[in-house]
Amino acid sequence: MTGLQLTAKPSFGGHEKFVFRDGWLKKGVDAVSQHPLIFSDDNALVILGVGKNMVRSIRHWCLATGLVAEVESKERKREIRVTDLGSRLIADTGWDPFCEDSATLWLLHWQLVSDPFRSLVWHLLFSYFYEGECTKKSLAAFVQKHLDRADISTTAGMIDREIDCFLHTYTPSVRGNRISEDTLDCPLTELDLIRFIPQDNIYRFNAGPKPTLPTPIFGYGLFRFLMNSAKHRKTVAVDECIYQPGSPGQLFRLDENSVVEHLEALSDLISGDIRIQETAGLRQIYINTEADDFFDQTAQQLLEDYYA
């Protein structure tokens, strides 16, 4: 296993302790498409219809899911643009503007946990954490260990806040008689990736088959993963796609059989450009194309074909 490698200093706390809510990503993408400087505009609170901290939170989640991106510009440092994915997925004429398809939630989950810059704790806990059960304390210790190894400095309080937000992203709130801003759930709770066991006060990662995960979304994640880890290789061990940090097996929390089933279905979907073969007891993916942009183009085409 390779260790955590970062090309930029990660950002903590941009979510302002809020998970994203139903409609927030759509609201953010729509606002940015009309006004690239919306998040630094004094009228943002009125335009977005939320409080100051929530404005910053919407900005963070739109960036962390890759629906918008910061513009590289010395003159206009705070300008943001809608990405191609944001336009195709969430715009009024997009594939799924209101995230009604569970495939969209899986896609947003992949985008989020694949970003070690804005979602480092999310990335660490899905990529490198292999325990089935955990407590907040054990998660904090795990994150602290990896941050120390990567020479990243932060505070114990910040780590605790990141873990609280991480868990709230995937587990429904335990509500009393009142529903407050802090108890509104994130749409990603529908994925049932993490379960809270109240009688034991532990959290459990739900590893195994994911009936609501479509093969094209698995394939999108696979080719994004391979684009970074195996761009110039013609064979990839299936085990890499199951256990390696950043792999679809890890980020979607799939078991071995589920990954193999998705790989076999994917081979049929893309007309044999990849095939699964076992040689001397080693299962491998064979990539049957010479195209340099195969991984990127195929990932995009899988999304277009699925939503079409």
| Residue of higher predicted confidence among 140 and 227 | 140
pLDDT in tens, 10-30: 889 999 999 999 999 999 999
Return the higher-pLDDT residue of 241 and 184. 241
- Phi first, then psi, for residue 133 (nearest 5°) are -125, 155
CATH topology match: 23-98 vs 215-307: yes
Average pLDDT over residues 150-160: 93
Residue ranges per structural domain of the chain: 1-7+99-206, 23-98, 215-307
Model confidence pLDDT, tens digit, residues 187-212? 999 999 999 999 999 999 999 999 99
pLDDT of residue 14: 92
pTM summary value = 0.93
pLDDT at position 183: 55
Q: What span, in angstroms and rounded, lies between the C-alpha atoms of 111 and 303?
A: 13
Most confident of 2-6, 148-152, 200-204: 200-204
Number of neighbours of residue 98 by Cβ within 10 angstroms: 12
Quote the CA–CA distance of 249 and 182 in Å, as a whole number: 31
* For residue 2, pLDDT beyond 50: no
CATH topology for the 23-98 domain: Arc Repressor Mutant, subunit A (1.10.10)
Q: What is the pLDDT of residue 31?
A: 94
Residue 1, pLDDT score: 41
**135 within 8 A of 152, measured Cβ to Cβ:** no
Mean pLDDT score, 35-48: 88
Q: Which residues pair with 65 in a beta bridge?
A: none
The answer on pLDDT for 248 being more than 80 is: yes
Residue among 248, 244, 204, 227 nearest 294 (CA): 227
Residue count of the chain, please give it. 308
What digits encode the pLDDT tens for the residues 250-262?
999 999 999 999 9
> Strand 202-205's sheet: what is its strand order?
133-134, 202-205, 194-197
For residue 182, name the pLDDT band (cuts at 50, 70, 90). Answer: low
* 179: pLDDT strictly greater than 50: no
- The Cα–Cα gap between 166 and 168 comes to 5
- Of the chain, the percentage scoring pLDDT greater than 70 comes to 93
215-307: which CATH number, 3.90.930, 2.30.30, 1.10.357, 1.10.10? Answer: 1.10.10
Average pLDDT rounded to a whole number, residues 102-106: 98
In degrees and rounded to multiples of 5, residue 69 shows phi and psi of -145, 150
Average of per-residue pLDDT values in the chain:
90
Residue 8 has pLDDT above 80, yes or no: no
Q: Give the residue-averaged pLDDT of 148-171.
A: 94
**pLDDT above 90: percentage of residues in the chain:** 70
Considering only CA atoms, which of 231, 222, 232, 227 is closest in space to residue 265? 222
Q: How confident is the model at residue 270, as a pLDDT? A: 87
Whether 177 shows a pLDDT value over 80: the answer reads no
How far does Cα 12 stand from its chain's mean position?
A: 16
pLDDT over 70 at 308, yes or no: yes
Q: What is the pLDDT of residue 280?
A: 78
pLDDT tens for residues 224-233?
A: 999 887 777 8
